[in-house]
Every structure is written in structure tokens, then in C-alpha cells.
Structure 1
């Protein structure tokens, strides 16, 4: 009976917290207050009034539910929220950009995190009471030095439109969270004297093992699950359900079976899904998948920030003045320490990855928020009975104070900081491109406006009022200095080409393998200075494997060799066809995005070379492999027609001409034909 009562109370908390979050988000619409900051303050306010007696049965039940939620176990908080939030964050990253910036992210997340932990430990020993040991100080340093992925990601999604800066800060918070948990576990053993000696080599060895095993677990589970997902046909329920359960599975396997880093495993799984595994998901499912995770992330962020506020206000009463003084000193200290470490690494950070400017480094320093993970680790310390009770309370108070201060002070002022640094706007080259796009939008609006003015049923329109609320003429970008827009222009063309391939894949006009090759070529072209031509990545992946040619006539093995050779021919033909269509599309698009005549001329020349390269490949294929042309083209034509049939069924369903039940049966028949035709033609 008691268990049932607790379950109902938690359900009440979840429902009420989400409703409060919805109302708060609505109130904050068009304001400069970050949602995460407001949620934390709301949680603290609710927790601060829970001591008051209430007579109304409903309010009493509500109070009991929030009190129960504030007493949740720290491990439970981490295991419920952390895997899902970390997965969503890593899954939404631009993987190509993450790989380019990995050296910078790793430098900040590992050596940078270790340095911050060590210096914070020294600060703690010099400021805090004498009963703090070296082990305790190191443990505390690990707790408060890691930027929290939940807090950082929540803030950046509201404020930052710069993909590179967001990827750097978000990537660091994801990886250094894993580093913090590893160091915390090691130093907790030292603080409790469960591990009397802790050598440097032991720490390095254990850290390497924990991270390596975490990566391996995430990669193995990703590989196995993607093989299964690749065998499915547009089964959104299974594909989405797998992405929900697998982050928890890898987290559990890493933490409890292999004693490795669960966070690293989840990040690895998500990055593989978002990168090479993206084409394994059914094209129709990807949009639903991102909507699902975006919604789940919003719900979990709402719950966790309110929970953090509740925990802080209910578990920490008024403490003595000395602890408040320690808090102020340590809060200022961790800001200075993070500044010292990032400034110290600047000569390296500016030369590796994609570089780092002074303005972005300031945002990186100020964006080092602490959040739920730090608080959960402090709660674990608070329940460790082998430590002195006074020390446990002090660690919890200081950590909670730092979490509140970084989220409220840093988080609420981040918009102001970015505005002062000029990072709240697009880069100047992008602003010019954006102005060009605005003109295209304005031209379209002007055309529609003229049509509306001729509409007999809209004769009473007050066009003065309407025109005040639409942009008919884009404000031209005022160029204050010479800007090199060539790089930005070429990058925009390549990104448009990449989106063209994803659109073709979503329509079923490109296979998984062809899409993977074409997207890979674009990402290679985007590395460093964007380069439209040449495309060595494609030429490399169009080669027939040597073993397939050499073993074609060997008994038994020859069957597999001929199959591999045929598959490669299909991929080559299909990707060449996709490249030809994409280059033709870019040739049409390029003039509308160009800013200078010379810029356009150079781009058209390079895109034409890509178009000729694809056209020559298709012609050579027909000339050199006439025996395969009919099979390959028949297979591609059949797949395109079957995808068209499936798409039309879905459109008719949306229009109400076919019931959903009948549509499902028709789509199942089409997908069965797809599967059988693929086996027959291969």
C-alpha cells in the first residue's frame, strides 16, 4: 500500500512539473530569460515553501509528491535522465563538425579537465578547513570542474546559432562529464581510505581503460543494432523504440558490467547513429525520430531542472556564514581557474581543429555551467557514511551553491556576453548571404501580395496594416569592411548539395550506400577550405575491390566475388547518377546565392567539372559494362517506382482518400516487393 502511494505521488510530481514547465515556457515567450534558469529558480521557490503546513487535501497531496521527488536517490536521478539527455545531445550534433573539432574538444575535456580538478583541489585545501584531506579536495575538484551537458546544452539551444561554437562547448561538456565521473570514482576511494595509495600511473591506466571500454561497448552495440535496423522497412515503432532503450542498455553495460564510462558509451552510440548509421534508418523515420527525441529532451530537461531546484532548497538549510564565504571564494576561483586553463591552451586551440578566436574563448569560459551531474555526485558523497558528516554537508552545500550560481549568474548573462562580443549575429560573410536570401523571400512575398490584391474576396484588406507586419524589401547588408565571401559561398553550395542528397535519400531515390559515399565526399570537401572540385573520395569508393576481380572464377568463392562486384557496380552507377543530378541542381542554384560575378564564375567552373566527371562515369559504365547496364538500371527504376508508389499511398492517406488501416496493408505489399526485387536483382 505504501509503495502504491509513493508511485502515485511521483506520478503527480511528474504531471504537475511538466504542466508548470509548459506554463513557464509560454510566459517566457519573447523574453530574454533562459528557460533552464527560470526552471531552476522555480524549483528552488517551490522547495522553499514546502515547510509550510497546508490543510487542503489536494495541496497536501501536492506537497507530499514534491517532497518525495526531492528525496530521490542521486544514482536514480543520474540513471533516469543522464543517458537520454546525453544521447539526444550527441545525436543532434553535426558529426562532421565534431570530428573536425575533436582535437580541441579532447584537449579541453581531458587534460583541461584534469588541470581544473588539480588546481581546484589546491584552492580548496588553501581555503577550506583543515579537516579536508588531499583525497577529499581532489574529489571535490572533480565534482565542480566538469561542465554539465544538461545545463550547457539546454542554454546553447536557446541562445546560440553558431554551429561551430555550439559544437565545441557542447562536445566538451559531453566528454568532460565522462572524465569527471571517472576521476570522482577514483578520488572517492582515496577520500574514504578504501584505496590508500593512488599513483599517477594508476590513475592514467584506469582512466584509459574506462574510456576505451566505454567506446568499445558503445561501438559494438551500435554496430549490432544498425545491422538489425538496416534490415527493417520503415518500421518507425521499432526504430524509435530501439533508440530509446539502447542508450540505457549501453549505460548499464558500461557502468555495472564492465565498470567503464557509461557517458562515453552513450556518446559513442549517438555519434555512430548520427554519422555513418544515419543512412541505416528508414528515411521516413528520421523526421519522426528527431521530433521524438526533441520532445523527450524538453520533458526531461523540465523535470531535471525543477528537481535540482527542489533538492537544493529542501536538503540545504541556512548554514553558517563561513560556508557562504567559502562558496563565494570558490565560485570566483573556479571561474578564474577555467579562464587560466583555456587561456593557457589558446596557442594550441587556435592552431588545431578549426581554430579559436578570442571572442569565442570568452564564451567558452563563461559557458562552463555546472548542473545536475555535479549535484548528483555531491549527493553520492552526502550518502557516503564513511565520510565525516560535517564534510559531507559542506561538499553538498558548496556544490549546490556553485550549480545555482553558474546557472543563474553565467546562464542569465550569456545573452548579454554574446551580444557584447558580436556573437549574437551571423558572421559578416554569412550576413551578406543571408541578405541575398532575404531578397528572394521579399520578391516572393511581393508577387503573392500582388495576386492577393486582385482577389475579389479580399477587397476589404487594409494593406497599410498588412504591410507593417511583412518584409517586402530586405534591408541590404551595410559592408563596413572588405569581406572574403568566396569561402562562405563555396561552403553554402556544398551544404546545399549535401541537403540535396538527404532529400533524395528521404524520397527513396538514393540507396543507403550511395548516400553514404556522396555525403562523405561533401564532408571531405568541407574540411579546411571548402573545395567543390576535385572529389577524390568518390573516385576512391567507386573502385571495384581487387579481390572481387581476382576471385570471380574461383568455385564457391566466385559467387560471393561476383556478388560484391555487381553490388559495387550498382553503387557506382547510382552514386554517379546522384552526383550528376546534384551538380545540375547546384548549377541552377549558384547564381541566386552568388554575391560577386567573379565568385559565381569560379563556382560554375568547378561545379561543371563535377557534372562532367559524373556524366563521363555514367557513359563509361554503359560502354565498359553493357551486360550490367540493363540489370542495374532496371533495379534502380523499379526501386524509384516502388518508392513513388509508397509515397503516393501516404499522400492519399493524408488527404483522407484511403483509411490508415488500408494504407498500412498497401504499404506492406509495396515494401515486400522492394525486399524481393532487391534479392532477385542482386
Structure 2
């Protein structure tokens, strides 16, 4: 009992000290070019290297015991505690629309690409290493070291990449690649331990398909059931956030232990459904808290996992002789060459599918193939498998640990330099031009504020020259640079602004879930390929009343449901038409301030006017064709807007300290109860 208590305390000490070290390190690295993940790994290795020394001071001895215990933790801890949460956070923060457009490229890299890397790495290890490995062992090792790790890749990209497409491609590949690696590892582990003697290519394909399909199915089913439940809640942030925390672990457990499928694929499926079609099911006020919560949790887990990897690596790497280091160097160079060969080999296909791929981005894709916690966890599973030879276990663990360190330290720390050399550290030219126009807009606003401050009686002694030197935007008037075609970028910017307008309306409670879903869907269709402001066929299709509802309206029993479906569709049409009208009016006002050329502004205004007229005509037709519904629908919308305004005002008065938080909670509860009741009444026909 005392021993167990001691271990628990030591783990707590490790957790607290590791997080404090991470916080200090993050503060020290601010405004430096050193990636946080690389620095954490090196710190973990440094701590691991001093654990052999005998320490007499009681406090330091306690710290040493805590870090020693952490370095001997079970591999399954990394797999089951850290991985589900980190994979969920990474997939949940992806731009789902972009992921869908690039899915063909991501799948090509993550499945055939990963399999090819595994096989070629196995051939390399059989020909270079003198340890007489079996084919099963070589394939198992190939699967371990070919897995690009989402934890390492994502933490690096978020620090230095503002290119959404490149980030989505690398991140998406590492997420799915991980699922593939774990599946292949499990299959080849059976081969290496002779649990399954003969190797059948068809068996591997069949098993892989089963594992991935069941993984997707479990993620989708849990997502559908949980979203149905979340949709029935009303602004309960504690339950909604707690569900997103517990469900990734549930689907991971169900997949891995109950159905022996891919836990990573299940978690990715769950996260993508939540981030895409499920986003409108969460209460609007909760989404911001949700992203903050996951961002913080991801930071804590990343800090712990990189220090842990550093600790484990340093305690294992110290045992090797010089010859092994030479083999490690060969394998490291080999896996870089193999990844290059596979991506270059796939380039003709990658350049033509999804959103295409340039030569510069393919170089970043090759160099960004970092290995991390997943590879190390798989190697630790091998190291603790008693049915394998002890020397073989040490060899696999040594090589994997070495490759993890080399890819994170060498590739990770030089990534910024590589991107700068390729010109990918800046925005594309057309985006830069649009961005410069936005900065000019900010500058105009600052000039106005500056003039009003000059009139302030209490700011008469201001040294305006010193102030202006520190405010770059005030002094830089907007200049036209060389001629670049910015039409596509301009239209994309307008559509993205329109999409954000809908999310803001949804967050304020002025748009319902269904209306938001239709309007956002239409924007994402318009953004596919070359951005197109008009026409909007997606909206027109979703505004049609189901044919069966009109045909069955007067039938007994079923007529009630038909009239209900028809009424619901009328409400959605009216709401989304109203939202479209307001958004197009807003964009018509915004467009001139973002325009770079007269012609592109005229085209955009012409197309946006057509959208505005389309929405206005729909609203007028609705009033003409369904006068019996107009009063009811408009009354419900007016009530919802007023109740949202009341809630907003209570929140503002609370921030200003006029109402206490306890009183505000009671008032908001009353308002939300009225909202919930009005929603239920509106659904009854």
C-alpha cells in the first residue's frame, strides 16, 4: 500500500515538474527560432542523462526517483492516455472542408505511400543490418519507423506555418498514416513472433480493410448518437465539453479492445464529424470554450509526451556501441531517401488530384515526415514482448529511439530554414496583396484614433514622433506593387468573410442550426476549385419542400408528420433566405474596402447583387405563397432575436459589474428556459 502511494506521489511530482519546466521553456523560447517540441525533447534527454548520477540531497533525490519512474512507464500509457486526446485535438482543429477536398491526396500518402515505405524500409534493414532479422521482424520495424507522427508534426507546423493547405495535407497524412502504421505493426508483429506463421498478401489487405472500416463505423456511430444527445441540450458547456473529452477515449477503447480495429481511425472520424457537420449541434456559446479547453489540454499533453520521449530515449540510447550508431546513421539517411522516392514517385498523381501539389510543397512534405511518440510507443511494445529475442528487442528500440530523436532534432529544427529557402514562410503573392489591403484598412482606423487622441486634453505632452516609430501601420500608405492576378484571392476572401458572418450570426443565436448548415454548405461548395459568388445551386436545392410532404399533407395519421416536415422546411427556407439577404448586404458594404482593382470590384458587386436579389425574391415569394405561415415564422424569429438580445445585455452588464455573477446566472437561466420553450412550441404544428 505504502509502495503504491509512493509511486502515485512520484508520478504527481513528475507531472508538476514537467509542466513547470515546459512553461519556463516556452517563455524562454518566445521570439526565438527554436521549435518548442525540439527543445522539450532535448530537455528530456538532458534530464535522462543525469539520472545515473548519485544524488544525496533529499529533494533532488525525490525528483530523480520521479523522473526515473516516468522513464520506465508502460508503452500503453502513451498509446491509451496521450494518443486519443492528441489525435482528437489535431483532427478537431482541421478545416474539414479543406480536408475533404484533399482527402484523395491524404489517403494516397497515408495508405499506399505508407505501405511502400514499410516494405522498402524492411528491404533496406535486411540488406544493411548484420543481425539476420526474419522478414516478419524487418516488416514490423519498417511499419514502426515509417509512421509520421501527428503529435510531432502538428506541434511543429502550428508554430511556423500559416499556409492552411500545406498544414492540412501534412497533418491529415500524419493522422491517417498513424492508423495505417498501427494496423501494419499489429499484423507484422504476429508474423515476427510466429503467432501467425505464413504470410499472405490477401490476408493483410483483408485485415487492413476490416480494421479501417470498423474503425470508421465506430467513430461515425458514436458521433451520431452523441450529437443527437448534444443537440437536445441547451447551452450546457460542462456536459458538452466533458463529452468531447471522454468520447475519444471511449471510441479508442471500443475499437482497439472490443472490436480489434483501428482506434486512431475511430478518433479521427469522431473529430471530423464534430468539426464538420456536427459543429452546429453544439451550443454556439460553447464552441469558443471548447477550442480553448482542447488547446490547453493539447499543450499540457504535448509538454509531457516530448519530455517523456526524451527521458525514454536517453536511458535507452546510452547502452549502444559504436557500430550500432553507424547502422542508425545509415537507416536514418535511408528513411529520408525512401520517403523522397515514394513522394516523388506519386508526384504525377498528387499534382493532378485534390488541390494539386507544387514542387516546393512536396519538399516540405518530405522533410516534414517527423517520427515521434507513436513510433517510440510501438518500439516499447516490442521491447516488452517476452516471445521475441532480447537482442532483437534492444536493436529495434535503439534504432527507433535514434530515428525519433534525429527526425525531430535534425528535420524539426531545420524546417523553418527549409520553408524560408522555398519561399513558403510567407503568404502567396496574391494573398500578400490582399493582406496588405487589410493592413491598410487597419492603418486608416488607427489614423482616425490617433487624430482623436491628439485632441484629448489629458494627452497634451505625447511625443508623437516616438509613438509613430513604434506603430508601423500608421506611417505606411498602401502602394500597388507589380501586377498579380488577385481576382481568385479576392473572391475567396469575400466568400470566407460571408462564411464567418454566418458563424457570428449563429453564435449570437440569430441563425438556427439548420439554416447555418445550409448557408455554410453553400459557401463551401462555392469555394471548391475556382471561387464562385453566384449562382448558389446548393441553396436552391435545399430550399425545396419534400415532394412526399406535399402529397401526404391531407392523409390520415401520416398527414400530421407531412405538415410538420413542410412547416419545418418553410421555417428553414425563411430563416436561411433572411440570413443570406443580411450577409449579402454586409458583403456589398465590405467589398470596396478589400478590392484591389476596379474590374474585380465591379464583377464581385454584380454577382453579390444577384445573391441579394435571389434572397429578397425568396422572402417575397414566401410572404405571397404562404401568408398563413408568415406571421408565425416571423413572430418566432423576432422572439428569438429579442431573447438573444436580452441574454447579451445581461452578460454585458455582468462584465461591467452592474449585476453580480450569481444574479446574472439566474437571469440567464430564465431567458434560456424561454428560448428552449419557444423552440419546442415552434416545432409543434
Question: How does the TM-score come out when normalised to structure 2?
Answer: 0.98
Q: 1:650 and 1:239 mapped to 2: Cα distance?
A: 21
CA contact (8 A) 1:102 1:353 kept: yes
Aligned residues between the structures: 681
Q: 2:341 and 2:447 mapped to 1: Cα distance?
A: 54
Instruction: Say which is worse superposed, 261-270 or 666-675, in terms of deviation.
Output: 666-675
Give the C-alpha shift of residue 305 in structure 1: 0.2
Give the C-alpha shift of residue 197 in structure 1: 1.3
Give the C-alpha shift of residue 198 in structure 1: 2.2
- The C-alpha deviation readout for 1:579-605, integer Å capped at 9, x for no partner, is 000000000000000100000000000
CA contact (8 A) 2:51 2:64 kept: yes
Q: 1:388 and 1:279 mapped to 2: Cα distance?
A: 53
CA contact (8 A) 1:211 1:260 kept: yes
Aligned residue for 2:475, secondary structure, equals: coil
CA contact (8 A) 2:148 2:370 kept: yes
Question: How does the TM-score come out when normalised to structure 1?
Answer: 0.99
Aligned equivalent of 2:127: 126
Q: 1:110 and 1:599 mapped to 2: Cα distance?
A: 42
Aligned residue for 1:472, secondary structure, equals: helix
Q: 2:350 and 2:429 mapped to 1: Cα distance?
A: 23
- The C-alpha deviation readout for 1:38-57, integer Å capped at 9, x for no partner, is 00000000000011111111
CA contact (8 A) 2:564 2:684 kept: no
Q: 1:362 and 1:480 mapped to 2: Cα distance?
A: 29
Aligned residue for 2:81, secondary structure, equals: helix
Give the C-alpha shift of residue 479 in structure 1: 7.0
Compared CA separation, residues 655 and 544, structure 1 to 2 (3 A)? same
Compared CA separation, residues 100 and 228, structure 1 to 2 (3 A)? same
- The C-alpha deviation readout for 1:257-314, integer Å capped at 9, x for no partner, is 0100000000000000000000000000000000000000000000000000000112
Give the C-alpha shift of residue 316 in structure 1: 3.1
Aligned residue for 2:311, secondary structure, equals: helix
Compared CA separation, residues 4 and 314, structure 1 to 2 (3 A)? same
Instruction: Say which is worse superposed, 12-21 or 667-676, in terms of deviation.
Output: 667-676
CA contact (8 A) 1:631 1:681 kept: no
Aligned equivalent of 1:425: 426
- The C-alpha deviation readout for 1:194-218, integer Å capped at 9, x for no partner, is 0001211100000000000000000
CA contact (8 A) 2:371 2:407 kept: yes
Aligned equivalent of 2:297: 296
Instruction: Say which is worse superposed, 414-423 or 52-61, in terms of deviation.
Output: 52-61
Give the C-alpha shift of residue 660 in structure 1: 1.8
CA contact (8 A) 1:435 1:475 kept: no
Compared CA separation, residues 130 and 223, structure 1 to 2 (3 A)? same
Aligned equivalent of 1:22: 23
Give the C-alpha shift of residue 76 in structure 1: 1.2
Q: 1:646 and 1:8 mapped to 2: Cα distance?
A: 45
- The C-alpha deviation readout for 1:117-164, integer Å capped at 9, x for no partner, is 000000000011242110000000000001000000000000100000
Q: 1:371 and 1:556 mapped to 2: Cα distance?
A: 60
Compared CA separation, residues 476 and 93, structure 1 to 2 (3 A)? farther
Give the C-alpha shift of residue 478 in structure 1: 7.5
CA contact (8 A) 1:446 1:472 kept: no
Compared CA separation, residues 416 and 447, structure 1 to 2 (3 A)? same
CA contact (8 A) 1:513 1:571 kept: yes
CA contact (8 A) 2:212 2:265 kept: yes
Give the C-alpha shift of residue 467 in structure 1: 1.4
Aligned residue for 1:476, secondary structure, equals: coil
CA contact (8 A) 1:438 1:474 kept: no
- The C-alpha deviation readout for 1:619-639, integer Å capped at 9, x for no partner, is 000000001001111111111
Q: 1:172 and 1:434 mapped to 2: Cα distance?
A: 29
- The C-alpha deviation readout for 1:366-411, integer Å capped at 9, x for no partner, is 0000000000000000011111111110100000000000000000
Q: 2:388 and 2:172 mapped to 1: Cα distance?
A: 34
CA contact (8 A) 2:136 2:192 kept: yes
CA contact (8 A) 1:152 1:170 kept: yes
CA contact (8 A) 1:432 1:477 kept: no
Compared CA separation, residues 97 and 472, structure 1 to 2 (3 A)? closer
CA contact (8 A) 2:211 2:262 kept: yes
Q: 1:334 and 1:476 mapped to 2: Cα distance?
A: 50
Give the C-alpha shift of residue 7 in structure 1: 0.5
Q: 1:154 and 1:501 mapped to 2: Cα distance?
A: 30
Give the C-alpha shift of residue 667 in structure 1: 1.5
- The C-alpha deviation readout for 1:9-63, integer Å capped at 9, x for no partner, is 1001000000000000000000000000000000000000011111111111111
CA contact (8 A) 1:435 1:476 kept: no
Give the C-alpha shift of residue 678 in structure 1: 1.8
Aligned equivalent of 1:590: 591
Aligned equivalent of 1:211: 212
Give the C-alpha shift of residue 318 in structure 1: 3.4
Compared CA separation, residues 326 and 476, structure 1 to 2 (3 A)? farther
CA contact (8 A) 1:635 1:681 kept: no
CA contact (8 A) 2:468 2:475 kept: no
Q: 1:673 and 1:480 mapped to 2: Cα distance?
A: 56
- What residue ranges of structure 2 are gaps of 5+ in the alignment? none
Aligned equivalent of 2:382: 381
Give the C-alpha shift of residue 462 in structure 1: 2.0
- The C-alpha deviation readout for 1:620-666, integer Å capped at 9, x for no partner, is 00000001001111111111111111111111222222222222221
Aligned equivalent of 1:112: 113
Aligned equivalent of 2:349: 348
Instruction: Say which is worse superposed, 484-493 or 639-648, in terms of deviation.
Output: 639-648
Aligned residue for 1:429, secondary structure, equals: helix
Give the C-alpha shift of residue 440 in structure 1: 1.1
Give the C-alpha shift of residue 315 in structure 1: 2.9
Root-mean-square deviation (CA, aligned residues, Å) is 1.1
CA contact (8 A) 1:229 1:281 kept: yes
- What residue ranges of structure 1 are gaps of 5+ in the alignment? none
CA contact (8 A) 2:439 2:473 kept: no
- The C-alpha deviation readout for 1:558-590, integer Å capped at 9, x for no partner, is 111111100000000000000000000000000
